[in-house]
């Protein structure tokens, strides 16, 4: 009996702490685990801005995102990725869905394979027009906790892991929430690298099957900065436009106008190609100047 | 970007498009551009608008004319001495044919202007 107790104790010590973390077993459970409704009480402006953003519905998007997740499952994971081991939705594991969910739902790390399967099915059904499936997907998204906790620290051997019940921002102190009681300073909250974690460098080489979605951060680093650019993502997409946590991009006319300056000049003349062959010709010159911090368009 | 020239009576005499887009192959290999993040890796080409840079495009548009013979001489008659040239810059998040898409959903109009050009 004593030996058995020692064995059990040894096993408990040997197991990583993460093994004890409770994982969500359904979309509803994961939504509950990452519930941010209490944020609205003290931060109504930020909450309402965020609610209207694509971040809030990051599994559905325009709804092009939902259709892309659906085709990734149907045409990629279950068909073209012949070594994925997935023939059916029930074979899907979290690691397969990371192709999309690494960025579109980082909280998937706290969910079981069943949730990955539920999301895969809902994306397929939703893309086929099932409104209930779409509603289900809209329960999850890139919310306050993703940027202000999960993704608030990049260099974890330098800065440590994000603390579970802390809200990361630009200050330290107490936070008036019954669950998230601490306010911690994120070293990158106002830096482009925060956004760069998901807005892409190119192929995601960290995945077993690298996918390529956004490439904006790569363009920011290798084209915008060398061109003399000095603004951060947050400056253009949150501050200067005064649109805060809505963080608009191409679908916002003000953001679009600011991103590309177009000048058009036109003149006409009789062009003489050869003697007696005078051709009435208009010359239209279009100058497209990009003021954005990345390639336009991305894709 | 679409450039369309029309005479005052609505006849389209010039119509062309320039496409600015990154072009990715499947799995970082080959020479075929593909769609879909689960297929794409790397770039084959990149004709997008680059930060801090200006692209200059010039379009030469001929006014409609016809060569006729008058009193034994070849005479060039300009059929329309005025044209409206419309320039539109569209953003298509998923590519495709923007003439079939829905504005504000599949495509966003970044810029539009019309310039009137004429010859004497």
Give me the interface pTM, i.e. the ipTM: 0.95
Give the three-state DSSP class for A121: helix
What is the C-alpha to C-alpha distance for residues A248 and B104, in angstroms, rounded to an integer? 14
Token representation of residue B87: 């320039």
Query: Regarding beta strands A182-185 and A166-169, do their DSSP bridges make them parallel or antiparallel, or are they unpaired?
Result: parallel
Beta bridge partners of A285: A265, B58
Above 60 in pLDDT, residue B47? yes
**What pLDDT does A17 receive?**
42
For residue B112, list chain A residues with Cβ-Cβ distance below 8 A: none
Cis peptide preceding B93, ω within 30 of 0 = no
**What pLDDT does A5 receive?**
54
- The H-or-E segment that residue B16 falls in is strand B12-17
Name the residue of chain B whose CA is nearest to A271's CA: B62
A290 within 8 A of B49, measured Cβ to Cβ: yes
CA of A134 to nearest chain B CA: how many angstroms apart? 17
Nearest to B62 among A209, A259, A279 (CB): A279
Contact: A227, B37; criterion CB under 8 Å: no
For residue B59, list chain A residues with Cβ-Cβ distance below 8 A: 283-286
Task: Sort A38 into a burial class: Cβ within 10 Å, 0-12 / 13-18 / 19+.
Answer: middle
Residue in the structure block whose two tokens are 């490439």 = A215
Task: Sort A116 into a burial class: Cβ within 10 Å, 0-12 / 13-18 / 19+.
Answer: buried
Q: Give the Cβ contact number of residue A205 at 10 Å.
A: 8
For residue A293, list chain B residues with Cβ-Cβ distance below 8 A: 51
- Cα end-to-end distance, chain B, whole Å: 29
**What pLDDT does A58 receive?**
98
What is the C-alpha to C-alpha distance for residues A114 and A92, in angstroms, rounded to an integer? 8
Of A125, A101, A122, A99, give the one whose Cα is nearest residue A111. Answer: A101
Residue in the structure block whose two tokens are 């931060």 = A43
Looking at per-residue confidence, does B119 or A16 come out higher?
B119
Of B21, B45, B41, give the one whose Cα is nearest residue B98. Answer: B21
* A221 has a chain B CB within 8 A of its CB: no
CA angle A34, A38, A39 (to 5 degrees): 90
**What pLDDT does B106 receive?**
87
B17 within 8 A of B1, measured Cβ to Cβ: yes
Beta bridge partners of A290: A260
Nearest to A71 among B36, B118, B119 (CB): B36
Task: Sort B12 into a burial class: Cβ within 10 Å, 0-12 / 13-18 / 19+.
Answer: exposed
The pTM is what? 0.91
How many residues in chain B?
120
* A129 has a chain B CB within 8 A of its CB: no
Token representation of residue A140: 């999850």
Inter-CA distances, B76 with A148, A219, B84, Å = 71, 51, 22
Radius of gyration of chain A (CA): 24
**What pLDDT does A2 receive?**
59
Cis peptide preceding A63, ω within 30 of 0 = yes
- Render each residue's pLDDT in chain A as its tens digit; 299 residues: 555 555 554 444 444 444 446 899 999 999 999 999 999 999 999 999 999 999 999 999 989 999 999 999 999 999 999 999 999 999 999 999 999 999 999 999 999 999 999 999 999 999 999 999 999 999 999 999 999 999 999 999 999 999 999 999 999 999 999 999 999 999 999 999 999 999 999 999 999 999 999 999 999 999 999 999 999 999 999 999 999 999 999 999 999 999 999 999 999 999 998 998 999 999 999 999 999 999 999 97
What is the C-alpha to C-alpha distance for residues B114 and B87, in angstroms, rounded to an integer? 6
For residue A72, list chain B residues with Cβ-Cβ distance below 8 A: 36-38
Q: How confident is the model at residue B94 (pLDDT cuts 50, 70, 90)?
A: confident
């Amino acid at each position: 009996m004593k030996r058995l107790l020692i064995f059990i104790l040894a096993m408990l010590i040997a197991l990583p702490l993460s093994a004890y973390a409770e994982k969500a077993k359904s979309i509803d459970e994961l939504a509950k685990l990452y519930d941010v409704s209490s944020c609205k009480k003290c931060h109504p402006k930020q909450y309402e801005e965020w609610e209207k953003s694509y971040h809030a519905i990051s599994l559905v998007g325009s709804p092009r995102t939902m259709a892309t997740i659906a085709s990734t499952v149907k045409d990629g994971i279950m068909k073209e990725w012949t070594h994925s081991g997935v023939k059916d939705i029930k074979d899907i594991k979290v690691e397969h869905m990371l192709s999309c969910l690494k960025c579109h739902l980082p909280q998937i790390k706290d969910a079981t394979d069943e949730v990955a399967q539920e999301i895969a099915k809902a994306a397929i059904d939703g893309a086929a027009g099932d409104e209930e499936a779409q509603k289900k997907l809209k329960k999850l998204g890139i919310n306050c906790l993703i940027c202000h906790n999960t993704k608030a620290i990049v260099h974890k051997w330098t800065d440590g892991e994000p603390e579970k019940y802390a809200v990361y921002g630009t200050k330290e102190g107490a936070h008036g929430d019954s669950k998230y009681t601490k306010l911690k300073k994120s070293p990158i909250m106002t830096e482009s690298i925060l956004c760069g974690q998901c807005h892409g460098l190119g192929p995601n080489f960290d995945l077993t099957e690298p996918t390529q979605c956004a490439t904006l951060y790569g363009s920011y680093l290798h084209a915008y900065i060398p061109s003399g650019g000095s603004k951060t993502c947050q400056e253009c997409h949150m501050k200067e436009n005064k649109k805060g946590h809505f963080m608009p991009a191409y679908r916002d006319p003000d953001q679009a106008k600011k991103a590309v300056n177009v000048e058009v000049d036109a003149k006409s003349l009789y062009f003489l190609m050869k003697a007696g062959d005078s051709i009435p010709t208009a010359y239209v010159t279009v100058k497209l100047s990009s003021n954005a911090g990345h390639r336009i368009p991305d894709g | 970007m679409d450039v369309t020239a029309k005479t005052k009576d609505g006849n389209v005499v010039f119509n062309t498009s320039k496409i600015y887009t990154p072009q990715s192959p499947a799995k970082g290999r080959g020479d075929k551009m593909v769609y879909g993040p689960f297929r794409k890796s790397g770039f084959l080409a990149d004709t997008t608008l680059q930060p801090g840079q200006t692209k200059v495009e010039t379009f030469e548009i001929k006014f409609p004319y016809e060569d006729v013979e008058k009193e034994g001489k070849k005479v060039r008659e300009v059929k329309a001495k005025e044209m409206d040239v419309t320039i539109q810059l569209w953003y298509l998040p998923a590519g495709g044919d923007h003439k079939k898409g829905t504005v504000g959903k599949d495509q966003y109009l970044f810029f539009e202007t019309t310039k009137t050009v004429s010859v004497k």
